[in-house]
Every structure is written in structure tokens, then in C-alpha cells.
Amino acid sequence: MSSADVALVLGTRPEIVKLAGVARLLGSQARIVWTGQHWDANLTTCFFDQYGLPRPHHRLKGVGGEARGRQIGRMVAALSDHFTRRPPAAAVVQGDTNTAAAGALAAHCAGIPVVHVEAGLRSFDTDMPEEANRRVIAPLADLHCAPTPAAAAHLLREGIETERVLITGNTVVEATLESLPTDVEAGRLLARHEVDEGAYVLATIHRPENTDDPVRLTRLLDQLAAVDLPVLMPLHPRTQAAIDRHGLHRSTARLRLIDPLDHATFLALARRCRLLVSDSGGVQEECTVLKRPLIVVRNSTERPEAVRAGFARLARPGQQLALALREALSDTTAAERLAQLPSPYGDGSASDDIVAAIRHRYLVPDPAAAALLPAPGTHPALAATGAR
């Protein structure tokens, strides 16, 4: 197949971050399709600018802020129309968002091959909307770019053919390393937020399991406020709305609530904090590159590699979180210990491997050139999954 371009279906801030390297490597062969799932400019526009990406070649309308079912339905309809008018050689979706599920379904219905970046993650928690999205995408994808051997093993156990699975590492590694500000810039950021290196906590909370339950959210905020260090908390619009809706301003009085951060600023603060507390999936990956301890405030995680490697700890608000905070803040050897550990998400070459596989399968018309590229299913790490 030698169609001119590949559609990168994006709709959220993490998708911009994690597919920016893929988009840059594809160059003029990348068609950026923006669904608008994240509609707040603070969460999106600055990320296109920061990563030097062109503005989307095609935008969907009327998607942001809709309930999940309506949002996915509208995206599938609009993407189906677009793919019918301008069929790409393949459609790339990333992760487990509503955008990713809709992009995969629309492309599959249009007969377009689907490339799933960050494939194979599983929490086995059916209460997580993201788990349903991951399960929707898996049987539709033509090429699964798994970040770890464990993720690849999930796919193989579900019956995905070995030749459709490629272990690439996670693109978050290179995105994190490329985005880190200099020490001088980081020093200015710490001064601006009036914190000292290693003497503050950085917290991000936005998932429905934490924000939709007022009792749980109150407990979480109160426990953060009880920490005997400054707690910086970039406030996601969903969390701000929940605080307003539930009348929890008293619980946030001792926290330093700040506006959402661009990626570089967040990484600079994360790299120099004493402790990270978050319910974000991306932060679970980033902490392994930044070498900082993380408490994951969730019921379950689809990224157990960070926990197994020693970077992260899972804790629910309540006694679990109180104990985790106390132990993490009293651990004076964490920074030195974590600095010696490799990230389980790869060495920073994921985008190169993904783009090589895309060109091999969908864009390279010259067999001699294709023969020089790594073929999906041949990655040596597949041996660890028991696929051979």
C-alpha cells in the first residue's frame, strides 16, 4: 500500500505528548485529526505549540463535554465521514481514551488498518471506562505496539497473532527526556512557585473515581492537606468543578492550587519534588524516567510495571493513603535508590520503532527499502512473553 499519509487520531493532552515523536518522524506523511475530546485550551493548544506540531489538518466539532456514549458516537460518525472522503494508508490511535476507541472503530468500519500505540495494557477492572476502550480496540487493530513484554503477553493470551504484536517501549520515555527544561529554567520555576528542591509534594487528581465521590474526594484532599510539606496541585477542570459542586473549598485551603501546567513545567516540578501523588496513567510512566517516587491514588492500575520496578505504590484514599504518605515521606533513601533503576518502559526509541513498522507495513513501496526495516513480531523481547 502506498497511500500518501497516515491519520493520527488525537483528542487529549496525553495523546499529543505521546504521539508527537511519531508525528515528527512521519513528517508530511502524518495527517493530524483532532477530535476535541479535551476542549480546554490550557490542556491542548499549548501542547501542539510546545512540541512543534502543526495545527490539526482536520477537526471534529461538538465532541468536548459530551457524555461518554454520545461523545464516542459523534466521533465515530464524524471520523467515518472523514475516512470515507480521504482514506489514509492507516489510522494510528494511542492509549485508551474515547478518542482512541472511536478512531479504531471508525477506521475499521472504513476498511483502514488500525495501529494501536500503547497496546495491551490491562487493569482487569471493569469499572474503568478505559479498560472497556482497550478491549474495544484490541480486536480491531492490525498492528499492536506494546510498551512492555507484559502488555504483549496480555494480547497473545487474548488470541492476537504474534506477527501483529511489536514490543516498542513507551513513547513517553523520549517525550519526557525531550521536554525536560534546563536546570536554570527549572530553578526559576521552583522560585516562581516558592518551593525548594526536594521539599514539596506535587499532586494531580482528575479521575472520576476520585472526583465524582464527594466522600472520597474530601478524604483525599484532607490527607494531602495534612502533609507537613507544601503540596502543589495543578487543578484539572474536572477536579475544580467537583470541588465547587461538592463545596470542598475548606479541604483545599492548605493546598497550593495552581492552574494546569504545560508538560515541560510539570516535568520540571515533578523531577525535583519529594513525592508525586497522582491518579494519572502517564505520571506512572513519567516517574520511572524522572526517578521520583509516586503514590497512585486509584483502585487499580493497568501499569503494574512501575509498581513492580519500585517506583510507584497503589493506595486508596483513607488508611492506605495515610500509611503510604507517611512511609514515602519518611524514606530518605528513595531518590538515591530510584536513580539506579532503569525504566521498565524502554530506552527512548519507541517512536523510531513504531514509525519504522508503519512504513514497513503501510507506506514503503520499495521492497528493498522495506527489507531494511524491523518486521513486527520479531522483537527479541517477545521471547519473554512465551510466544515462541
Cα distance between residue 326 and residue 336, in whole Å: 19
Instruction: Please check whether residue 19 is in contact with residue 48, taking contact to mean a CB–CB distance below 8 angstroms.
Output: no
As a whole number of Å, the CA-based R_g of the chain is 21
Residue of 38, 154, 206, 263 marked active site = 206
Cell of 225: 492537606
> What backbone phi and psi angles, to 5 degrees, belong to 201?
-110, 140
Please provide the distance, in angstroms rounded to a whole number, between the alpha carbons at the two ends of the chain: 29
**What contacts 41, CB < 8 A, 6 or more positions away?**
none
DSSP E strand stretches across the chain: 6-10, 30-34, 58-59, 91-94, 114-117, 143-146, 165-167, 201-204, 231-234, 256-258, 275-278, 294-296, 312-314
Which of left, alpha, beta for 198 (phi over 0: left; psi -120 to 50: alpha)?
left
Cα distance between residue 364 and residue 355, in whole Å: 11
Torsion of CA 130, 262, 273, 277, to 10 degrees: -20
**What contacts 14, CB < 8 A, 6 or more positions away?**
94, 95, 97, 281, 282
Cα distance between residue 41 and residue 31, in whole Å: 21
Cα distance between residue 90 and residue 147, in whole Å: 20
> What backbone phi and psi angles, to 5 degrees, belong to 222?
-65, -40
Which of left, alpha, beta for 194 (phi over 0: left; psi -120 to 50: alpha)?
left
Which residue from 189, 190, 179 is spatially nearest to 46, judged by alpha carbons? 179
Cα distance between residue 51 and residue 17, in whole Å: 8
Cα distance between residue 252 and residue 233, in whole Å: 10
Q: Is 206 a catalytic residue?
A: yes
| Positions marked active-site | 206
